[in-house]
Structure 1
Amino acid sequence: MKNRSKIRNNSGFTLIEMIVTVTIVAIFASIAVPSFSQLIRNNKIPTTTNEFISSMVLARSEALKRSRDVIVCASTDQLSCNGGTDYSGGWIVYDDCNGDGSPTAVAVDCNDDNLEEEQEIIKVHNGFDRMFINGTANNITFLFSGRVAGNTTFDVGHESEPTVTKKEVTVNRVGRIKSEDP
């Protein structure tokens, strides 16, 4: 009998096959990553818009419920209004029950029952990274009837394209809030 040498079958990839595969994956990744970044950026705009609208809807409903003025204003420290029309750094929703036009972070007596159980600040929002929200007013005051003093418009977009407004949020005199593409 002849001694048959064992034939060994190698399985796996050669170095050249591995380099070609890695190169193809790198090419596809370089094409996909910018598209994915654009997708993320485009999804941040409706998210920011919806969060901002949600705060205004909350303010309007709280004004109706409490029968008092509820204000939405730009805030960077989440305790006070900054007096500007740039809401990018965040905003607060507060019940102006003492009528002084500024929020109070401590408990106050809002319903004159000699109990300090309510806080004026209803909601705090820290804003979004790399997004802009610019308005035509430094605050929106929802009156006890749910109305506002005048029409207010906000432009929402991504800071990488500051001249391009992606969404426009409008609050009209009756307190109706709508969002639309400009």
Structure 2
Amino acid sequence: MHPSPKKARGFSLLELMVALAVASILAVVAAPSFRDMLRRNKVSATSNALLADLAYARSEAINRGNIVSICPSTDQKSCTSSSTAYESGWIIYTYVPGKGKANTAYDNSDSSNILLRASNARDNVSIRSVDSTIVSFGSQGQTQPSSKQFKFDVCFLPPGVSGSGSSTDKVPGAMLTVNASGSASSKSLPVQTTCVPS
């Protein structure tokens, strides 16, 4: 007597179709949330990078006992003149002691200018300063000119779009504030149409 062969087990075509339909629905529901999470992370990483570099510039000013400045830069070799847009990158620089003044643009052909750090462009974010191209820190870490406060807005900027981005309920922007003493802080931006600090 031969044992009866075992039935082959597997998915039927109907079961496979149902599983694919459920997977498709889950993908459609989850994809926007995942996309928004990636965008929030991009804004957060960018604002943290700028916040860290502002703290670094202030620390270097105190350690060196000299003015240290940060400005937007498209080539990481010079300040971008008359620009308050930092998303194309920025540089941090100082001067040979006794040679530099606050809010003076970096000049790589001037041997009294010393480049300390350069940061590359950021994709799909906008970083705007409210009213100043250059942020300078004095020898005690205070902003220059004294008692000036600086603000930056960091927002997501969709691919292929130019401008200042926006802060939305799904992808909120960040506002960085450098107070007169030179310390910097960050908080979430409210929902707004443009990402320009006021």
Q: Which residue of 1 aligns with 2:95?
A: 96
SS for the counterpart of 1:10 is: coil
Offset from partner CA, 1:72-108 (integer Å, 9 cap, x none): 0001111111021000111111113342734355895
Q: Which residue of 2 aligns with 1:177?
A: 184
Q: Which amino acid aligns with 1:132?
A: S
TM-score, length-normalised on structure 1?
0.83
SS for the counterpart of 2:154 is: strand
Q: Which runs of 5+ in 1 are unaligned?
A: 111-118
> 1:147 and 2:148 equivalent?
no
SS for the counterpart of 2:117 is: strand
Q: Which residue of 1 aligns with 2:25?
A: 27
TM-score, length-normalised on structure 2?
0.77
Shift of 1:41: 1.1
Q: State the aligned residue count.
A: 171
2: distance between equivalents of 1:60 and 1:4? 86
2: distance between equivalents of 1:181 and 1:4? 74
Q: Which residue of 1 aligns with 2:165?
A: 162
Shift of 1:51: 0.8
SS for the counterpart of 2:153 is: strand
Q: Which residue of 1 aligns with 2:69?
A: 71
Aligned equivalent of 2:116, options 119, 122, 131? 122
Q: Compute the RMSD of aligned alpha carbons.
A: 2.4
Q: Which runs of 5+ in 2 are unaligned?
A: 159-163, 190-198
Task: Verify the 8 A CA contact 1:132 1:157 in the aligned structure 2.
Answer: yes
Task: Verify the 8 A CA contact 1:96 1:103 in the aligned structure 2.
Answer: no
1: distance between equivalents of 2:11 and 2:109? 68
Shift of 1:130: 0.6
2: distance between equivalents of 1:174 and 1:13? 68
Task: Verify the 8 A CA contact 1:106 1:120 in the aligned structure 2.
Answer: no
1: distance between equivalents of 2:50 and 2:121? 9
Which deviates more from structure 2 when the two are superposed, residues 80-89 or residues 18-27?
A: 18-27
Rg larger in 1 or in 2?
1
Q: Which amino acid aligns with 1:52?
A: L
Offset from partner CA, 1:9-33 (integer Å, 9 cap, x none): 1111122211221121111111111
2: distance between equivalents of 1:86 and 1:29? 36
Task: Verify the 8 A CA contact 2:176 2:186 in the aligned structure 1.
Answer: yes
SS for the counterpart of 2:53 is: helix
